[in-house]
């Protein structure tokens, strides 16, 4: 067992069976959920039955793991290979015996459901497929999530004309009973695909691998549940897949993240591929390879697991300087997600309540991982008119957000464009600015004068702004009224102090002088 502390993984404990013996193949399959681990030993002898197999449950207490139970099938027999695959979720464990006989069908296979009660694990059900046949390898892979179990059956046949096409079976729980709900097959399945060689399930999403599909390039299929129906949502393939890669030898799913192994990719060095979901679409996010090159034919991806943002891929043939084929497991975590954005965007003057032309703001993913965008919002007098940004932005790509400015007040206005995502510096902001103005038109738009003798002055022609309406004009009218009131106060004060200005001409002259003075003072205040 390995545990993480501050980004560092260290071995916590080595697990062994209390009754282990040579050639038990203890560790051929493992599963973990929280503080529970299940380990398969498909060649373990039970009584006098060679290779009947067993599985062992270990529980964690602090930093210590101790064996809590040894699981065996109630109807186990020699060479059943019980423990060839295991799965655990909460208090439910599933253990398969792919060579268990089903009636007259030798090596049909079976899967057994065990449930925990305090420190005891008891067998609750034995699962077999409807219409099973000899050599189906039912139980070559198993997965469990809540009250759903998926069992892979990669061969030898699905229909008489499709040998080794494979299938997977979904079982659901009702109380203490389990029943088959549906049989899953690939929409483009073909003979020798070995669909069902690997399975995974999380909630209403199931994943099935077909390592020999399309000339052994391989594929993995995503199925989603709706009521009692499961339908294929996507077929996943590697972006750089090639014949013989065996993509789909192993699969794992956690929420909207899928991990698929391809043990023979790149000359059997191996690789694992991360896919992420956006709506009903799944896209490849990353290709994982060993940091040390996998030392030749390491076959990274023979086994995979994913939890949250961390992925693990096994390389059983990894060698170091002194130990050939010692094997290794690699832990991967996404690097920091970084983005590039402009710091600010400035809009020109805009009339009140008018909407400006849009200005584009480019968001660029400058990291090697996928940017998951939770939201893009604005505040103030600014709005998003359109965007090419979706829920995800893959590495090295850009998208654009178009922003408009609709001033609701006069003067300088500011706002913010806000991005919330999984980048290391989230949230990111872009400062927005613009100025609200009143836009008036002159009437007439042009003036033409008659001929005039040199040295003389023509009659005046009136040019005036059209009457405006709206909040901006109202604000200007209020301003004019304030200025007029100040002028009236000034005139009243001066008339009272001087007690004269009987001449009408003097009154008008003094009015003009005070009006100009009031306007100048108002301009200085602004």
- Confidence (pLDDT) at 474: 54
**Region(s) of the chain under CATH 2.60.40.10:** 339-437
Decide if pLDDT at 414 tops 90. Answer: yes
CATH of domain 339-437: 2.60.40.10
2: Cα within 13 Å, side-chain hemisphere? 10
- pLDDT, averaged across the chain: 87
- Confidence (pLDDT) at 520: 56
Tens of pLDDT, residue by residue over 107-157, are 789 999 999 999 999 999 999 998 777 778 899 999 999 999 999 999 864
Tens of pLDDT, residue by residue over 458-470, are 888 887 766 554 4
CB-based burial label for 105 (10 Å; 0-12, 13-18, 19+): middle
The phi and psi torsions of 520 (rounded to 5 degrees) equal -65, -40
Decide if pLDDT at 180 tops 60. Answer: yes
- Confidence (pLDDT) at 507: 47
Tens of pLDDT, residue by residue over 219-254, are 999 999 999 999 999 999 999 999 999 999 999 999
Decide if pLDDT at 516 tops 80. Answer: no
**Could you tell me which of 51, 50, 53, 123 has the C-alpha nearest to residue 85?**
53
pLDDT band per the 50, 70, 90 thresholds, residue 308: confident
Tens of pLDDT, residue by residue over 33-53, are 999 999 999 999 999 999 999
Q: Could you write out the DSSP letters of every residue in 485-500? A: HHHHHHHHHHHHHH--
What span, in angstroms and rounded, lies between the C-alpha atoms of 171 and 164? Answer: 22
- Confidence (pLDDT) at 444: 82
Tens of pLDDT, residue by residue over 472-494, are 555 555 544 444 454 455 545 55
Task: State the angle between helix axes of 471-498 and 504-525 in degrees (0 to 180), rounded to the nearest 10.
Answer: 130
Token pair belonging to 308? 């949250």
Question: What percent of the chain stands above pLDDT 70?
Answer: 85
- Confidence (pLDDT) at 475: 53
């Amino acid at each position: 067992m390995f545990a993480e502390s501050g980004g560092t993984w260290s071995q916590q404990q080595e697990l062994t069976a209390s009754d282990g013996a040579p050639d038990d193949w203890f560790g051929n399959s493992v599963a973990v959920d929280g503080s529970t681990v299940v380990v398969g030993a498909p060649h373990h002898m039970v009584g006098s039955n060679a290779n009947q197999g067993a599985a062992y449950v270990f529980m964690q207490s602090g930093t210590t793991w101790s064996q809590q139970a040894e699981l065996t099938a109630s109807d186990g027999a020699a060479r059943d290979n019980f423990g060839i695959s295991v799965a655990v979720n909460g208090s439910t464990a599933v253990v398969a015996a792919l060579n268990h006989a089903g009636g007259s069908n030798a090596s049909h296979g079976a899967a057994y459901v065990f449930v925990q009660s305090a420190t005891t694990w008891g067998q609750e059900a034995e699962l077999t497929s409807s219409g099973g046949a000899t050599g189906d390898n039912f139980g070559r892979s198993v997965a469990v999530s809540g009250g759903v179990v998926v069992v892979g059956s990669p061969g030898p046949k699905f229909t008489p004309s499709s040998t080794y096409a494979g299938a997977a079976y979904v079982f659901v729980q009702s109380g203490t009973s389990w029943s088959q709900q549906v049989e899953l097959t690939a929409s483009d399945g073909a003979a020798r695909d070995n669909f069902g060689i690997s399975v995974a399930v999380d909630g209403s999403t199931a994943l099935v691998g077909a390592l020999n599909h399309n000339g052994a390039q391989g594929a993995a299929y995503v199925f989603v549940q709706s009521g009692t129906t499961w339908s294929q949502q996507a077929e996943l393939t590697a972006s750089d897949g090639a014949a013989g890669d065996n993509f789909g030898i192993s699969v794992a799913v956690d929420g909207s993240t899928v991990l698929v192994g391809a043990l023979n990719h790149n000359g059997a060095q191996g690789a694992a591929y991360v896919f992420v979901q956006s709506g009903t679409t799944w896209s490849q996010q990353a290709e994982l390879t060993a940091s040390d090159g996998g030392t030749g034919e390491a076959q990274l991806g023979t086994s995979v697991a994913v939890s949250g943002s961390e992925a693990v891929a096994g390389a059983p043939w990894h060698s170091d300087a002194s130990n050939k084929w010692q094997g290794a497991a690699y832990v991967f975590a996404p690097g920091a997600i970084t983005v590039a954005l402009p710091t600010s965007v400035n809009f020109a003057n805009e009339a009140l309540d008018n909407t400006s032309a849009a200005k584009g703001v480019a968001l660029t993913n400058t990291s090697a991982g996928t940017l998951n965008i939770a939201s893009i919002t604005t505040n103030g007098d600014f709005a998003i008119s359109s965007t090419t940004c979706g829920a995800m932005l893959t590495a090295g790509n850009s998208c654009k957000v178009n922003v408009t400015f609709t001033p609701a007040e006069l003067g300088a206005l500011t706002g913010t464009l806000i991005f919330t995502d999984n980048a290391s510096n989230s949230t990111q902001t872009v400062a927005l600015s613009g100025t609200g103005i009143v836009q008036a038109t002159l009437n007439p738009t042009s003036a033409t004068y008659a001929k005039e003798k040199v040295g003389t002055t023509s009659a005046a022609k009136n040019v005036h702004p059209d009457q405006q309406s709206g909040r901006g004009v109202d604000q200007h009218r209020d301003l004019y009224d304030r200025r007029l009131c100040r002028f009236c106060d000034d005139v009243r004060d001066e008339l009272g102090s001087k007690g004269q200005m009987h001449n009408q001409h003097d009154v008008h002259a003094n009015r003009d002088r005070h009006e100009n003075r009031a306007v100048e003072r108002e301009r200085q205040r602004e």
